[in-house]
């Protein structure tokens, strides 16, 4: 996978409801991988994943940036319905 500065990398979801799934995501403006990912699920639900220690470096163009990063499941987040007054 070819990354560019502030480009993309592969987020590897290592456990939880999306275990084994990979997601392409963007680096932060600083060039670092995102510390957390919120992944949309069915209506009103999102899965929260946090970066873990696993990193892979496989980009000859930008060897200082990881090409893949492991993420661990934290919790499901639910939207609260708007209350009408």
The secondary structure of 41-59, three-state, reads: CCCCEEEEEEEEEEEECCC
pLDDT averaged over consecutive 10-residue blocks of the chain (85 residues)?
Answer: 66 97 96 96 94 93 92 94 66
Sign of the CA dihedral 69, 73, 75, 76?
A: positive
Specify the pTM.
Answer: 0.83
Position 6 scores a pLDDT of 67
Position 60 scores a pLDDT of 87
């Amino acid at each position: 996978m070819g990354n560019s500065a502030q480009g993309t990398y592969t987020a590897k979801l290592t456990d939880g409801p999306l275990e084994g799934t990979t997601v392409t995501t963007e680096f932060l403006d600083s060039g670092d991988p995102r510390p957390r990912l919120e992944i949309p699920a069915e209506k009103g639900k999102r899965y929260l994943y946090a970066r873990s220690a696993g990193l892979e470096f496989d980009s000859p163009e930008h060897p200082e940036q990881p090409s893949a990063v492991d993420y661990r499941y934290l919790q499901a987040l639910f939207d609260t319905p708007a209350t009408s007054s």
